[in-house]
Structure 1
Amino acid sequence: LSSWPLQGNQTNTSHCSLPSDNWTFTYVPVYVMVISVLGIALNIFVLMVFIFHKKPCSVPEIYLTNLAAADLLLVSFLPFWAVSAWKQFEWIFGSALCKMVNVGILMNVYCSIYFLVLVSIDRYLAVVHPLSHETIRRPKFAKISCLLVWILGFVLSVPKLINRELVPHDGIIKCAEKYDTIYATSEYMILVLAFIIPVSIITFCTVKILQTLRSRLMEGGKTKKKDKRATTLVLAVLLAFLICWLPFHLLKIPSRLKSAGILTSCSSEKTIYFCEQIFLYLAFFNSVLNPILYVIAGNSFREKVKELLTQWDRKRSSTISLTSTRTTFLRSVKSQRDIVY
């Protein structure tokens, strides 16, 4: 990704250099660190609720759990991004992390969108075809699908693993990417496989879901309360994803024109660069927004939180009661010994 950590690619910066006090070197690192801290805390909270709750996760919750894991992967790598931005794109973390950070962030792009594809298909089958495809909508199938998505995400991120390297530039070392066939192929893969195809599938499923719910409402039919709640949460997460990621992917069009040498002026390059930065930070915010949506739009998730807190409170009370009983017993034994002796 041409604007990913941290621009580093050898664009025509020789005649379009940025001043040292530019906002991308000052405010951005603070913003990214805040997103990282919030994202780590919120996504760990979501994972704890889904994993430690006594009831097994439903199929949509399995997909949302993996989505939270993908978001956690992204925000865990952002502190390296922030430090590099603060040092005006200088990379001080070595070659291995240069590759790992980029692969980890790109894996989030692929995995998160395909987890949303899976959850969209599940809601489509649950609402539009509720009496068929029961085999596909089983937890075992959901877990296998998630594993395949993680594998696919890593495989599609391999070009970044190969192409990222440390290069000297303007007296500093940058984590940069070579502009070659691998780079061009990777960029088109991201556009097609991480945006056009999955968004088309999600759009189809969403339109069919909304049409079905509308027709049932007009006919006076009933929709299961559980399915309605799950569908509301899924639609909220899908909408948030599109709002956060759509501008970034659409900006690929002028970026490709720049790479093709059509947009060559310094002003156009700077405009594309600043838009890339703004849209990229908006995309990063999606990893913080998802856990918030679980709480706001997810009635089932809020119930799980309450049940989990009650569960932990009971365990705590039981532990305190056991400790108290043990202390009382030991005191009784001690007093009996004192009477005997």
Structure 2
Amino acid sequence: MKVVGGGLLDENATYDYINYTDEDYEDHDDHDGSKHSAMLWVMVLYSAVVCVGLLGHALLLAALAQKRRPWSLSDIFVFNLGAADILLLLMLPFWIVEATQDHEWTFSNPFCKISRVVFNINFYCGIYLMVLISLNGCWSSTHRTQPCFRQKPLLTHFSCLLVWLVSLILTIPDWIFPRAEEDATQNKSMCALRYTQSDTFSLLLSRLPYHVLGFLLPAATLIICCSRMLLRVRCRSKRGILPLPLVVVFFLCWLPYNITLIVDTCLSVSRKTRNDSLKTALMVTTALGCIHACLRPLLYFCLCVNFRKWLLAVLKCATDQSKSSLWDLSVGMEVLPVQSHEQQALKEVKLEQQAQC
């Protein structure tokens, strides 16, 4: 049996596991105008995400490249998060082209598989790196000793490499099922998930790893770690990497998509037909998840005072001589000017006393 779903941006931009029935095709013309209108907004949105995201991550890479000393723990995590976002940003233009061609896939079959894999790798890497960052922040807020990540930088690199490996393993279903083939019903080539086994088995094989290993377990870990940080956070632990704002924004962008996808999976297993509102929700929440790829640089600019100073110095063609981490939160940095002013006043008093003697 061959099950054909819609295109990458058609109703469900990433998971088109449901059979289209004859009624779906009969109702297609009735909702054609609203779908095209929604698709236009999605294309405009994705174009803005690509422009803002690539510019922001280019500045992040420039900030990391200008550091001559060994990278800190924060630098390693920022780089890996940025790499995952850049992969998705580079894929979005191809989805935009597909949408302009009325969901017709004009690229190769291997690229059809890659486009789906990249979307999931971005999510997997994002949530697992959030787990590593939160574990580090939780340890820092509850123990006086430095975490293992900070004591052994090689362990941090190995952990990030392991995250990428696990993400690739979890995307195995996305290498198997998607294919770009001619759709006899719509008379055009479409990149869709096509099955040769039972629908329910293939559906569960594709989605269970995503729901359980990709979302539910990491999300539970993040909630526990962030709760402990909120209960035990102190001024000394507000500097360094910034887990809480990153985790909150990540959940705001990806939680709606995952909840909608779980609902869609339950309806599919129970053999119930998806209504148009659920299809629209999948499309909208997918776009919301993609928006997250451009938000992290904006978060760093708003929350990290040293990164903001470095960026303003670059725009003024000046040199930033700060040696502290670029990713320290603004909180905790406010006392530095006061301390330096007091030290300067003490030096002036000593100089006056020496002059009088």
The bucket for the TM-score relative to the shorter chain is 0.7 to 0.9
- Name the structure 1 match of 2:342: none
Shift of 1:137: 4.6
1:241-256 matches, within 5 Å, as 241-256=250-265
Which of residues 110, 113, 120 is equivalent to 2:127?
A: 113
> How far has the Cα of 1:108 moved from its partner?
0.6
TM-score (norm 1): 0.80
**Cross-structure match for 1:293:** 299
Quick one: structure 1 residues 138 and 310, their matched pair in 2 at CA, closer, same or farther if it must change by over 3 Å?
farther
Q: Which residue of the partner structure matches residue 228 of structure 1? A: 238
Counterpart position of 2:283: 277
Distance 1:134 1:102 in 2: 35
Residue equivalent to 2:269: 260
Choose which of 299, 302, 310 in structure 1 pairs with 2:308.
302
The 1:310–1:87 alpha-carbon spacing in structure 2 relative to 1, beyond 3 Å, is closer
Equivalent residue number for residue 165 of structure 2: 151
Counterpart Cα distance in 1 of 2:226 and 2:101: 43
Report deviation, 1:195: 1.1
8 Å CA contact 2:73, 2:150 repeated in 1: no
Deviation at 1:135, TM superposition (A): 5.9
Counterpart for residue 171 of structure 1: 187
TM-align CA RMSD? 2.5
Structure 1 residues 308, 143: closer, same or farther in 2, change over 3 A?
Answer: farther
- In structure 1, list runs of 5 or more residues that go unmatched: 217-222, 315-341
Instruction: Give the Cα–Cα distance (whole angstroms) in 1 for the partners of residues 151 and 57 of structure 2.
Output: 25
Q: In the alignment, is the contact (CA less than 8 A) between 1:165 and 1:177 conserved in 2?
A: yes
Residues paired across the two proteins, number: 299
Identity of matched residues, %: 26
Deviations 1:114-146 (A, max 9, x none): 111111111111111231544665321111111
Please list, as runs of the form range in 1=range in 2, the aligned pairs for 1:1-341 lying within 5 A after superposition: 5-6=8-9, 7=12, 9=16, 11-12=19-20, 13-17=24-28, 18-19=31-32, 22-131=36-145, 133-134=147-148, 137-169=151-183, 170-179=186-195, 180=199, 181-213=201-233, 223-224=235-236, 227-230=237-240, 233-264=242-273, 268-305=274-311
Find the aligned partners of 2:281 and 2:58 in 1 and give their Cα distance: 31
Instruction: Name the TM-score, length of structure 2 as normaliser.
Output: 0.76
Distance 1:203 1:4 in 2: 34
Question: Displacement, 1:190?
Answer: 0.9
- Cα gap change, 1:300/1:4 in structure 2, threshold over 3 Å: closer, same or farther? farther
Q: Are the structure 2 counterparts of residues 57 and 135 from structure 1 closer, same or farther at C-alpha, using a change threshold of 3 Å?
A: closer
Deviations 1:232-284 (CA, angstroms, capped at 9, x unpaired): x32111110000001111112320133124532xxx52111100111111111
> Secondary structure at 2:240's aligned position in 1?
helix
- Once residues 308 and 143 of structure 1 are traced to their aligned partners in structure 2, the CA distance between those partners, rounded to angstroms, is 29
